[in-house]
Structure 1
Amino acid sequence: MLGLFTMLVSAMAMPAAALAETVYGQPAPWKLNFQAAASPVMHDIVRFHDLLLWIITLITIFVLALLVYVMVRFRASANPVPSKTSHHTLVEVVWTVVPILILVVIAVPSFKLLYFADKTKEAELTIKAIGKQWFWSYEYPDNGNFTFDAIMTADKDLKPGQLRLLDTDNSVVVPVNTNVRLLTTAADVIHAWAMPAFGVKKDAVPGRLNETWFRAEREGTFYGQCSEICGAYHGFMPIKVEVVSKEAFAKWAEEAKQKYAQVGGPSPRLASAQQ
């Protein structure tokens, strides 16, 4: 029992990011806690999680100690004549005020995090994600207004190093250290664009445009999935984001204008075939 308690205290003393695997942006075997944070929002989520873990653990230990004390101190053999006390003003004030103070301690960072994660006033890039059954479509209105679909790579088409149920034929490409405004909507049912390493989870609702943001702090490939139960193939519409340098993104955007269709227009391949 003492060894288990020591392990729990040691785990709590370490931040969640330190307990995570060194693999960024994807799940890993035996991973503990969150994926390693790769955005300012996710760093704040991890810190808030650690605060709540301390609070709930201290509450649990206190309640357990109180129950043990009551069972031992007021057991029938030790109290053949039970007390008839029904009210205690100080105890009633304490058990009312202390939970309120605990909720205030939780509420202040909670509201700060909610407002911080909601939207950014200094967006440098806008991407629109459209949930469909069962894949995602993306639009880049700031970079030529092109659009493309991102469909899960089938098992038979997976190449070495690609992840089953997470890789897609096309990737969302964003520059590193850039405030990205993400707009989400859906064409059919409710979906949800979720990227754990960025601390992003935003519903995509038909007829509604929701907004969130992220700022990727490191280059690499990051994976997420739709987190709304949107139908039979809910588990088969992953999200793949490639974070590259700003120079590489500018080059990719120029190539994407030629490769992908314009919003509301025919695809370049179709136009070439008609010519």
Structure 2
Amino acid sequence: MSTWSNLGLQDSSSPMMEQLSFFHDHTLLILVMITIMVSYLMISLFFNSYVNRYLLHGQTIEIIWTILPVIILLFIVFPSLRLLYLLDEINEPSITLKTIGHQWYWSYEYSDFSNIEFDSYMIPTNELLMNNFRLLDVDNRVIIPMNSQIRILVTAMDVIHSWTIPSLGVKVDGTPGRLNQTNFLINRPGLFFGQCSEICGANHSFMPIVIESIPTNFFLKWISNSMNY
């Protein structure tokens, strides 16, 4: 991965993250246009005196430089409000996943199925396999079916944690005594990595998150085997 790609957002793996990426590009384009215009005006001030001894006021230009920023802000506000609504809207989820943050690991419960719960710890460096990622892989991955609406409930047992998967556009605080919820849909199979993004103590950087997205028929087999086990 090149240096320039590290400066941007991760490749989206969900419809909401695609919308967030589009909104990011849309807003960045507006900011670039404003920056170029303001830079041009500032540079032009060095080469022009703009002295007019008979100019007392300019109502027209004052109206323009008041209304124009408002119009520009509307082009940012409406897409932003739409995204905020979509991020909070939960439409008939197929599966509910409960996530509990501990110092310093995650626990998961599949609320729709009985007896399916497990802890997820980071794999120590001395136990890594050749195909594992250092400081990112875990011993028990979260298995999720692709193209299914997933509702996730997040809480914590001790301090505030934050369950975050950048490529899915998901970031939810886990607060003790409180249930926060959000939803996502993964549109392709694969492994998706995240980490706790709340400073939760000494081992804050050692509680990663791994989601494995698989086709629905493989997920049903995994669920059946887990329940039998």
State TM-score, norm by structure 1.
0.79
Work out whether residues 137 and 148 of structure 1, in 8 Å CA contact, stay in contact via their aligned partners in 2.
yes
* Structure 1 residue 86: Cα displacement: 5.7
1:123 to 68, 82, 93: 93
State percent identity of aligned pairs.
43
Q: Secondary structure at the match of 1:111?
A: helix
* Structure 1 residue 182: Cα displacement: 0.8
2:200 is the alignment partner of 1:230: yes
2:9 to 26, 34, 38: 34
1:72 to 47, 67, 72: 47
* Structure 1 residue 71: Cα displacement: 2.0
1:212 to 160, 182, 192: 182
Find the aligned partners of 1:256 and 1:58 in 2 and give their Cα distance: 55
Structure 1 residue ranges without an equivalent (≥5): 1-27, 260-275
* Structure 1 residue 145: Cα displacement: 4.7
Measured at CA, do residues 62 and 143 of structure 1 come closer, stay the same or move farther in structure 2, by a change above 3 Å? same
Question: Which residue matches 2:109?
Answer: 139
Question: Which residue matches 1:47?
Answer: 22
Measured at CA, do residues 131 and 83 of structure 1 come closer, stay the same or move farther in structure 2, by a change above 3 Å? farther
* Structure 1 residue 87: Cα displacement: 3.4
Find the aligned partners of 2:227 and 2:164 in 1 and give their Cα distance: 26
- Alpha carbon RMSD of aligned pairs, Å? 1.6
* Structure 1 residue 120: Cα displacement: 1.6
Measured at CA, do residues 73 and 141 of structure 1 come closer, stay the same or move farther in structure 2, by a change above 3 Å? same
Find the aligned partners of 1:83 and 1:126 in 2 and give their Cα distance: 71
Runs of 4+ in 1 over 6 A off after TM superposition: none
Q: Give a deviation string over 1:149-174, Cα, whole Å, max 9, x none.
A: 10000000100110011000000000
- When Rg is computed on C-alpha atoms for both structures, the one with the higher figure is 1
State TM-score, norm by structure 2.
0.94
Work out whether residues 184 and 203 of structure 1, in 8 Å CA contact, stay in contact via their aligned partners in 2.
yes
Instruction: Count residues with an aligned counterpart.
Output: 227
Find the aligned partners of 1:85 and 1:53 in 2 and give their Cα distance: 36
* Structure 1 residue 36: Cα displacement: 1.2
2:27 is the alignment partner of 1:57: no
Structure 2 residue ranges without an equivalent (≥5): none
2:131 is the alignment partner of 1:156: no
